């Protein structure tokens, strides 16, 4: 049995680069950018009018002129006009190019317009006002979004602005989620007394969806020969195999045996934590000639063998698969912490992932423990938002102390 | 001009129920549940073995017996066996039904098995240990997930367990996002000097995607006749029209005029806030005979006319559209607060939505202001995570004070 720290370190050392793909920018939310995004032109690209009103040559106003004959209208999206006479003005619309020979914009609110003449009703005007100058927000070639940023709505707007209709993002690993156990039946079936429905695989599919990783699912019966032949195939076809169950000590828990026979190298089995202790982790490296041709790297398939209990599988996906993914795409995710809202005693020499309900109070994140019925009590996850990680170096945890959390809502 | 408070109240009073639809449970993550989910059987549905090992009749152990002949193996997913002789034992696997006539499970770690006989190596055993009793986590008919819960991976597991392969969720409003302005060209085009690419519509599409609302987009040129005829059609076909731009004072900002002619009732125009002030909000109620037949409700189309500046549109979507959506689906979203990390002075009598970078420190959520170049500086959103809302009732905001935030990552 190894510590949570050591287990995480081992998992993080088993990452690899799955390369880059180019996708439509509008489908890229949640994906990890794999190119720097530079400004394709100055921003704004021209001296941009930022208020609806008129534009004048400030010199005339300075000389005492208050009324200006309107020469025309400079609309947004029209080619740049030229102010022909410095004693006249041009009406200008927000987003328009500032006309030539003009340098100051006065908004409608400060004007009276009558018979084609605009009269300024205020005394204080600053030269250059209400103009968003060319290049003020950025120069052509400026770095707008750094490589390895997670794309959100904010980045989508920038990608559109600079014309990146296709964008390079980290390729996702190809994942299959496998359930085992003859007691499991399909969701739309009525189970017999000794059966239950499959649920962990769908929980895992949803947890991976949060990372924008599509996954496939499979179910294998507790038959060693079938298990071995299917797993052999999956090891070739997928980058990651996620198992739920069949890694403890049972007679029909063939997985560790099958892994050994298939030369999947065990990196650890069992972690000093509750829930989620019987976690098996390993990988199979093999020279895959197709992949070699394509990408010149050795194929390495990662195997996460999560315990079958629903909460164990859930917490291990958050505690190990998530950081593994963040590392492989190069994402630096800040660890969240929360304030424990009750005293907790936990005797075993294990890290304790305790379910908590989160709330906000004066800028503080409060974690209130909710005690469920143990690792089989799937429904208890509905009433909580996160796991708070209480380390194994002590047994008493006090209200008000701060610990890291693994949050799932 | 109305206050942010009053504007939000008006928006929240314009919600309506779009009804319920039934979808596959595996597609339901992020959607709002519209039925109570009850346990279809006790959970666990049988006395469930929770450790791999043997099961015995505790009475024999109490009478001093330590070695038990193995009668057979009770596997997970097999029908319940019966212990024939109370001086024997049955091997049992995690997840299996507890055999008849047995009541205590001893794990392999505490046993030696030789020649078909299991010998217990420890002295202390509790009657009933390592059994997850029928109905311990819940009884048939128990409420497992309340109506109006937002579905996450945790709920997916429960839905699978109780066999809800299809689930009732709140129907999403049908939304179209419309850009106007002749200066805008498509993302894959090279703009002329006085043109820029469309970007706000895609930002809005992405912000709505976070709510799992699919949306369509359209662009209309600054031509009043075209605007009017297209908007007339959209008012009939969609539940919500989201505009970006064309609601300020410009000559070609036809929207308020067009809305009036189309009998879209203005509820407010301009809110005392920065950025996002020229926000137009209204609705059109009409008896739509098709809808009437179907659902017996009057069609009410909501119009959000957001300002054209990228940051204004962004903040208004978070500040108004999000709460509007939460209210209509019945979701009670706790308002997040954060601790201001610098002194801020803001003179205008407006609510100030200030861009901030968030970080966690000892369970505290810290908001560090990042000053951009004003509401046109889309790229600045890349460097921040949220807006902190500084109220208009004062001008000086001190480091350490707590204010609500609108978070977008």
**Span A245-267, average pLDDT:** 81
Q: Which of A147-156, A244-253, B234-243 has the lowest mean pLDDT?
A: A244-253
DSSP-assigned beta bridge partners for residue B388 = B354, B405
Question: Which residues of A are less than 8 Å from B333 in CB distance?
Answer: none
Question: Which residues of B are less than 8 Å from A255 in CB distance?
Answer: none
Regarding whether A279 and A318 lie in a shared domain, the answer is: yes
Q: How confident is the model at residue A230 (pLDDT cuts 50, 70, 90)?
A: very high
As a whole number of angstroms, the distance between CA A358 and CA A354 comes to 12
Which domain does A152 fall in, by range? Answer: 24-37+144-169
| Min Cα separation B194/chain A (Å) | 6
Regarding whether B313 and B187 lie in a shared domain, the answer is: yes
Residue A27 DSSP label: G
* Mutation to test the A interface, candidates B81, B100, B196, B222, most A Cβ within 10 Å: B196
Size of interface A-B (CB pairs under 8 A): 329
Using CB atoms, which residue from B308, B360, B378 is nearest to A336? B360
| A328-340 pLDDT, tens digit each | 999 999 889 999 9
Q: Which two tokens stand for residue A398?
A: 């006090």
Q: Given CB atoms, is B342 within the 8 Å cutoff of chain A?
A: no
State the pLDDT at residue B208. Answer: 98
Whether A137 is covered by a domain: the verdict is no
Which of residues B286, B307, B329 is at a domain's end?
Answer: B329
The CATH number of whichever domain residue A74 belongs to comes to 2.170.190.11
Q: Given CB atoms, is A362 within the 8 Å cutoff of chain B?
A: yes
- Coil vs helix vs strand at A339: strand
Q: Are the C-beta atoms of residues B332 and B309 closer than 8 Å to each other?
A: no
- Coil vs helix vs strand at B258: helix
- Is the preceding peptide bond at B44 cis, omega within 30 degrees of 0? yes
Rg of chain A over Cα atoms, rounded to whole angstroms, equals: 31
Using CB atoms, which residue from A39, A161, A250 is nearest to B199? A161
Whether A139 is covered by a domain: the verdict is no
**Span B283-290, average pLDDT:** 70
What are the CA-CA distances from residue A140 to residues A194, B150, B226, B248, B373 (Å)? 68, 44, 35, 29, 16
Mean residue pLDDT across chain B: 92
Q: Given CB atoms, is A332 within the 8 Å cutoff of chain B?
A: no
Whether A42 is covered by a domain: the verdict is no
Q: Given CB atoms, is A287 within the 8 Å cutoff of chain B?
A: no
State the pLDDT at residue B182. Answer: 84
Which of B280, B346, B264 lies closest to B316, judged by CA?
B280
| A24-58 pLDDT, tens digit each | 999 999 999 999 999 999 988 999 998 899 999 99
Start-end of H helices in A183-282: 200-209, 224-237, 255-261
Whether A243 is covered by a domain: the verdict is yes
Using CB atoms, which residue from A80, A160, A202 is nearest to B26? A202
Using CB atoms, which residue from A136, A144, A210 is nearest to B382? A144
Regarding whether B400 and B361 lie in a shared domain, the answer is: yes
Using CB atoms, which residue from A138, A153, A198 is nearest to B203? A153
- Write out the H or E segment, with its range, that includes residue B311: helix B310-316
Rg of chain B over Cα atoms, rounded to whole angstroms, equals: 31
As a whole number of angstroms, the distance between CA A209 and CA A5 comes to 26
Task: Please say if the pLDDT value at position A15 is more than 80.
Answer: yes
- By C-alpha distance, the chain B residue nearest A132 is B376
- Write out the H or E segment, with its range, that includes residue B286: strand B280-286
Q: Given CB atoms, is A145 within the 8 Å cutoff of chain B?
A: yes
Q: Given CB atoms, is B26 within the 8 Å cutoff of chain A?
A: yes
Q: Given CB atoms, is B125 within the 8 Å cutoff of chain A?
A: no
**Span B137-141, average pLDDT:** 89
The CATH number of whichever domain residue B363 belongs to comes to 2.40.340.10
Regarding whether A229 and A316 lie in a shared domain, the answer is: yes
Q: Given CB atoms, is A363 within the 8 Å cutoff of chain B?
A: yes
Q: Given CB atoms, is A274 within the 8 Å cutoff of chain B?
A: no
State the pLDDT at residue B371. Answer: 83
CA angle B292, B294, B300 (to 5 degrees): 45
Q: Are the C-beta atoms of residues A306 and A276 closer than 8 Å to each other?
A: yes
Q: Given CB atoms, is A176 within the 8 Å cutoff of chain B?
A: no
Residue B110 DSSP label: G
Q: Which two tokens stand for residue B157?
A: 């597991």
Question: Which residues of A are less than 8 Å from B145 in CB distance?
Answer: 379, 382
Higher pLDDT, B374 or A214: A214
Question: Which residues of A are less than 8 Å from B364 in CB distance?
Answer: 363-365
Regarding whether B207 and B165 lie in a shared domain, the answer is: no
| Min Cα separation A66/chain B (Å) | 21
Regarding whether A238 and A185 lie in a shared domain, the answer is: yes
Mean residue pLDDT across chain A: 92
- Coil vs helix vs strand at B63: coil
Which of residues B329, B348, B368 is at a domain's end?
Answer: B329
Question: Which residues of B are less than 8 Å from A211 in CB distance?
Answer: none
Which of residues B301, B329, B357 is at a domain's end?
Answer: B329
A-contacting residues of B 302-331, CB under 8 Å? Answer: 308, 310, 314
What are the CA-CA distances from residue A245 to residues A219, A221, A222, B182 (Å)? 11, 12, 11, 60
Whether A360 is covered by a domain: the verdict is yes
Question: Which residues of B are less than 8 Å from A72 in CB distance?
Answer: none
Task: Please say if the pLDDT value at position B126 is more than 70.
Answer: yes
- Coil vs helix vs strand at A378: helix
Q: Are the C-beta atoms of residues A219 and A180 closer than 8 Å to each other?
A: yes
Question: Which residues of A are less than 8 Å from B165 in CB distance?
Answer: 187-188
CA angle B258, B262, B263 (to 5 degrees): 115
| Min Cα separation A40/chain B (Å) | 10
Regarding whether B219 and B323 lie in a shared domain, the answer is: yes
Number of H helices, E strands in chain A: 9, 28
Whether A300 is covered by a domain: the verdict is yes
Using CB atoms, which residue from B25, B75, B402 is nearest to A363? B402
As a whole number of angstroms, the distance between CA A221 and CA A200 comes to 15
Question: Which residues of B are less than 8 Å from A30 in CB distance?
Answer: none
B-contacting residues of A 202-231, CB under 8 Å? Answer: 202-207, 209-210, 222
Task: Please say if the pLDDT value at position A293 is more than 60.
Answer: no
Q: Where does residue A90 rank: exposed (0-12), middle (13-18), buried (19+ CB within 10 A)? A: buried
Place of tokens 């205590």: B104
| Min Cα separation A255/chain B (Å) | 14
Residues 6+ apart with CB under 8 A from B111: B53, B54, B118, B119, B120, B121
As a whole number of angstroms, the distance between CA A308 and CA A22 comes to 37
Buried b (16+ CB within 10 A) or exposed e, B3-12: bbeebbebbe
| Min Cα separation A368/chain B (Å) | 13
State the pLDDT at residue B379. Answer: 80
Question: Which residues of A are less than 8 Å from B155 in CB distance?
Answer: 382
Helix A322-329 and helix A4-12, axial crossing angle in degrees, nearest 10:
40
Regarding whether B314 and B207 lie in a shared domain, the answer is: yes
Regarding whether A124 and A86 lie in a shared domain, the answer is: yes
Question: Which residues of B are less than 8 Å from A50 in CB distance?
Answer: 374, 376
The CATH number of whichever domain residue A265 belongs to comes to 3.40.980.10
Number of structural domains chain B divides into: 4
Task: Please say if the pLDDT value at position A343 is more than 80.
Answer: yes
Q: How confident is the model at residue B1 (pLDDT cuts 50, 70, 90)?
A: very high
| B168-196 pLDDT, tens digit each | 999 999 999 999 888 899 999 999 999 99
**Span A386-404, average pLDDT:** 97
- Is the preceding peptide bond at B275 cis, omega within 30 degrees of 0? yes
Higher pLDDT, A120 or A363: A120
The CATH number of whichever domain residue B152 belongs to comes to 3.90.105.10
- By C-alpha distance, the chain A residue nearest B145 is A382
State the pLDDT at residue B252. Answer: 63
**Span B306-329, average pLDDT:** 95
Q: What is the ipTM of this complex?
A: 0.91
**Span A360-366, average pLDDT:** 91
Which of B269, B169, B202 lies closest to A28, judged by CA?
B202
Question: Which residues of B are less than 8 Å from A109 in CB distance?
Answer: 249
Task: Please say if the pLDDT value at position A376 is more than 80.
Answer: no
Q: How confident is the model at residue A61 (pLDDT cuts 50, 70, 90)?
A: very high
Question: Which residues of B are less than 8 Å from A380 in CB distance?
Answer: 137
Answer whether A160 sits within 8 Å of B252, measured CB to CB. no
Whether A43 is covered by a domain: the verdict is no
Q: How many CB atoms lie within 10 A of CB A20?
A: 13
Regarding whether B364 and B302 lie in a shared domain, the answer is: no
State the pLDDT at residue A249. Answer: 65
| Min Cα separation B383/chain A (Å) | 9
Answer whether B359 sits within 8 Å of A334, measured CB to CB. yes
Q: How confident is the model at residue B71 (pLDDT cuts 50, 70, 90)?
A: very high
Handedness of CA B271, B273, B279, B284 (dihedral sign): negative
Which of B60, B138, B63, B57 lies closest to B98, judged by CA?
B57
**Span B337-358, average pLDDT:** 96
Residue A333 DSSP label: P
CA angle B406, B278, B371 (to 5 degrees): 45
**Span A121-150, average pLDDT:** 94
Higher pLDDT, B138 or A376: B138
- pTM of the predicted model, to two decimals? 0.91
Task: Please say if the pLDDT value at position B198 is more than 70.
Answer: yes
Residues 6+ apart with CB under 8 A from A294: none
Regarding whether B223 and B113 lie in a shared domain, the answer is: no
Regarding whether A309 and A205 lie in a shared domain, the answer is: yes
Answer whether B379 sits within 8 Å of A156, measured CB to CB. no
Which of A333, A349, A320, A341 lies closest to A388, judged by CA?
A341
Buried b (16+ CB within 10 A) or exposed e, A198-225: bbbbbbbbbbbbbbbbebebeebebeee
Answer whether B160 sits within 8 Å of A199, measured CB to CB. yes
């Amino acid at each position: 049995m190894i510590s949570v720290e050591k287990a995480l370190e081992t998992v993080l050392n088993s990452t690899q680069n799955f390369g880059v793909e180019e996708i439509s920018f509008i489908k890229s939310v949640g994906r990890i950018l794999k190119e720097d995004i530079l400004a394709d032109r100055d921003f704004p690209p021209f001296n941009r009018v930022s208020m609806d009103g008129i534009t004048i040559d400030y010199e005339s106003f300075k000389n005492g002129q208050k009324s200006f004959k309107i020469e025309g209208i400079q609309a947004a999206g029209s080619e740049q006009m030229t102010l022909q006479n410095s004693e006249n003005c041009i009406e200008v619309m927000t987003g328009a190019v500032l006309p030539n020979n003009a340098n100051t914009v006065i908004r409608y609110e400060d004007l009276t317009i009558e018979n084609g003449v605009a009269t300024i009703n205020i005394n204080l005007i600053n030269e250059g006002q209400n103009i968003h100058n060319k290049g003020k927000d950025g120069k052509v070639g400026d770095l707008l979004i750094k490589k390895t940023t997670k794309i959100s709505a904010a980045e989508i707007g920038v990608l559109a602005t600079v014309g990146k209709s296709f964008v390079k993002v980290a390729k996702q690993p190809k994942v299959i989620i496998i359930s085992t156990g003859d007691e499991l039946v399909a969701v739309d079936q009525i189970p017999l007394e000794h059966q239950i429905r499959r649920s962990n695989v769908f929980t895992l599919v949803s947890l991976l969806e949060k990372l924008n990783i599509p996954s496939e699912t499979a179910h294998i019966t507790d038959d060693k020969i079938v298990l071995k032949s299917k797993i052999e195939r999956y090891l070739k076809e997928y980058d990651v195999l996620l198992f739920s169950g069949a890694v403890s000590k049972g007679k029909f828990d063939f997985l560790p045996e099958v892994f050994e026979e298939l030369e999947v190298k065990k990196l650890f089995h069992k972690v000093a934590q509750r829930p989620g202790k019987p976690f098996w982790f390993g990988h199979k490296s093999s020279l895959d000639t197709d992949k070699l041709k394509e990408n010149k790297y050795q194929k390495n398939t990662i195997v996460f063998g999560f315990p079958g209990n629903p909460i164990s599988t859930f917490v291990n996906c958050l505690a190990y698969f998530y950081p593994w993914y963040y590392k492989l795409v190069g994402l630096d995710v800040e660890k969240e912490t929360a304030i424990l809202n009750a005293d907790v005693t936990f005797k075993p020499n294990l890290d304790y992932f305790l379910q908590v309900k989160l709330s906000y109070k004066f800028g503080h994140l409060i974690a209130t423990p909710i005690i469920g019925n143990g690792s089989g009590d799937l429904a208890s996850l509905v009433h909580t938002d996160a796991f708070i990680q209480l380390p194994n170096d002590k047994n008493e945890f006090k209200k008000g102390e701060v610990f890291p959390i693994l949050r799932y809502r």
